[in-house]
A and B are shown apart, each in its own frame.
Chain A
Amino acid sequence: MSKIDVAPPYTAVSRHDMFPEPRHDEAARFDFLANLNKFLAGTLGPGNKLAYDKRVLPAFVKEHGREPKDRFEIRHAMNADPFHSFWSALKRNSMEMRQQNGRAMVLRQLDALDAKAESLNAGKDTLELNPDVDVPRYQAAVDIHCMPGSYHGEERPGDVSAGANYDCGLFATTGGALGALNDGGGQALVEWIGKERPGWAPKRILDIGCTIGHNAVPLALAFPDAEVIAIDTAAPSLRYGHARAQAMGATNMRFIQANAEDLSRWADGTFDWVQTTMFLHELSGKALPKIIAEGYRVLADDGLMLHVEQPQYSDDMPLYEQFIRDWDAFNNNEPFWSAMHALDLKDEMVKAGFGRDELFTVGVRAVVDTDIFPEAPTGESEDHGRAAVWNAYGAWKNAEAIQEAAE
């Protein structure tokens, strides 16, 4: 018999110096949640499609004389189905338990965590906080993914509780699929760029919406001669992220509290690489194009723009799949998720200034130590919304023109 598929133990998570120290039972809570999420996605998850095919869709067709015309009609019909509503209730509870469990562990040791952050951050000019930066409405309207206080909440002024809670629980919701340092996304980018442009050495990289920097640290370590600027509007996440990066030796990173809708402090063409990871869906309809346009402006010729996201909904994607991928929008406080995934990101990048022929899309799967950590499942067993399998929407700015000029 092949090895039974279980989540790796929480104790396999690497503990950098900033990481909260789990007690035995705190680790055991995350062990339970990681395996519960695997069960809800892998074993029970396919029941949603079954309920749809066997009773929800036939009943809809009988009532309306046609099939649902969009994912919203499917959602309304599915929410009345007892299998789906109970599954959703279980899944919502697992999200809420992850937050409660993470906060209990972090707040218990908050004095120690704040002291560690203080000692790692003190006297460093690579952390720039600016209290004049407002928390944008799209970050404040609800607490994103049911994380109490969102990325910017504080238990007391100047603390790191939000960042520490975010870091310590990513393991549970992804079943360990982001790897030992929750950085499988960043590791995947490093692997991809190494194949795409061997020997390329970007001098300045901008990571927008960095939260705790877990996706950008691998870039900083892979390109030690580059300066990596990581920006976010949430000071508590930046405090934690900067301390975390310092603890991991990523001293070529600068964490700056800033809103990417206005990057005017940087001149045109400042960066060789501008990127976001799982960030665009946490914006708004007006902020997203502004941020992509600003990103385009500060990107140098022959520079790379890359946005890593869950797959966009297209006309080719079955409506049922669009509906199930939308679950987090309505059940896990991701209010821009649905609208964002319906956008054509290629159109948005063209509007920002790219030529259509400069655009590319590439599949990205978290790169983890597969001896210990699982590869993220896809297909029917996929945990939609948090599977560590993404699409990267990218473009090299004016690359062809630059190369032609050089020849």
Chain B
Amino acid sequence: MTEDLDWMTRANLKAKGKRPDFLGDPEEEKMLSMLMAVIGEVSVLRERLDTVERLLEAKGTINRADIEAYEPDREAGQERGELIREYIARVMRGPHQALQALEEFEPPVQDVVDELRDS
């Protein structure tokens, strides 16, 4: 471990250069950055759990050093990648559905309600 350096806070150093305004509200920008970090950390926890499950299945008992040393083989690597891919698709449902909504014009549901009432 690095001595004489508060590496945990230094890891958060901001890059020099004004950050673009994406969402029109600095509070929203910060909230999104926190949400994205949590989304990442949930993925990390899930991957760690997958490691524990695989090691237990293979060995019966494990310790933390086993977890640190674990490296998936080709098949396990693919399976873990698929877990992450599915997880990302699930949490990104909102923007993904916004994309799908762009693909065809959809009238407001009120219009459909009116149409069905009268037809």
Using CB atoms and an 8 Å cutoff, list the residues of chain A in contact with chain B: 3-9, 11-12, 23-25, 28-29, 31-33, 35-36, 38-39, 43-44, 46-47, 50-51, 54-55, 82-83, 85-90, 92-94, 96-97, 99-101, 103-104, 107-111, 141-143, 146-150, 155-156, 330-331, 333, 335, 372
| Contact present for A92 and B71 (CB under 8 Å) | no
Closest Cβ–Cβ distance, residue B16 to chain A (whole Å): 4
Structural contact, A143 and B3, CB atoms closer than 8 A: no
Instruction: Indicate whether B116 reaches chain A with its CB closer than 8 angstroms.
Output: no
Task: Check if B2 sits within 8 Å of A143, measured CB to CB.
Answer: no
- 24 A–B contacts, CB within 8 A, in A order: A4-B82, A6-B81, A7-B81, A9-B77, A9-B81, A24-B51, A31-B81, A35-B85, A43-B92, A44-B92, A83-B98, A83-B102, A85-B23, A86-B23, A87-B95, A88-B22, A90-B36, A94-B36, A101-B40, A103-B13, A104-B7, A107-B10, A333-B15, A372-B74
| Contact between B2 and A108, CB atoms less than 8 A apart | yes
> Most B CB atoms within 10 A — which of A28, A47, A143?
A28
**Secondary structure class of chain A's binding surface, majority of residues:** helix
Residues of B within 8 A of A28 (CB): 43-44, 47-48
Q: Which residues of the other chain, B, contact A6 by a CB distance below 8 angstroms?
A: 78, 81-82, 84-85
**A-B contact sample (11 more), CB < 8 A, given A28-B43, A32-B44, A89-B23:** A4-B81, A6-B82, A28-B47, A31-B80, A51-B102, A54-B102, A89-B29, A96-B15, A97-B36, A104-B11, A110-B5
A281 CB to nearest chain B CB (Å)? 15
Specify which chain A residues have a CB less than 8 angstroms from the CB of B40 in the assembled complex.
29, 32-33, 36, 97, 101
Contact B96 A103 (CB under 8 A): no
Q: CB within 8 Å of A: which residues of B?
A: 1-3, 5, 7-8, 10-17, 19-20, 22-24, 29, 32-33, 36-37, 40, 43-44, 47-48, 51, 67-68, 70-72, 74, 77-78, 80-82, 84-85, 88-89, 92, 95-96, 98-99, 102-103
Minimum Cβ distance to chain B for residue A43 (Å)? 7
> Which residues of chain B come closer than 8 Å to A335, judged between CB atoms?
17
**Considering the complex of A and B, which 5 residue pairs feature the smallest CB-CB distances, nearest first?**
A6-B81, A142-B17, A47-B99, A107-B7, A89-B22
Inter-chain contacts of B10 with A (CB < 8 A):
103, 107, 155
> Contacts A11-B72, A142-B17; is A47 near B84 (CB within 8 Å)?
no
Q: How far is the CA of A77 from the CA of B73 in the complex (A)?
A: 47
Q: Which of B24, B36, B92 contacts A39 (CB 8 A)?
A: B92
**Given A12-B77, A90-B95, A103 and B36 contact (CB-CB distance below 8 Å):** no
With A and B bound together, what is the CA distance between A25 and B51 in angstroms?
Answer: 10
Q: Give every chain B residue within 8 A of A3 (Cβ-Cβ).
A: 78
The CA of A7 and the CA of B71, in the complex, are separated in Å by: 15
Query: How many whole Å from A96's CB to the nearest CB in chain B?
Result: 7
Shortest Cβ gap from B40 to chain A (Å): 5
CB-based nearest A residue for B23: A89
Contacts of B72 in A (CB 8 A): 9, 11
Contacting residues, chain B, for A89 (C-beta < 8 A): 22-23, 29, 32
Q: Which of A29, A44, A109 contacts B99 (CB 8 A)?
A: A44
Q: Are B7 and A108 in contact (CB under 8 A)?
A: yes
Is the Cβ of B102 less than 8 Å from the Cβ of A11?
no
Complex CA gap A259/B98 in Å reads: 47
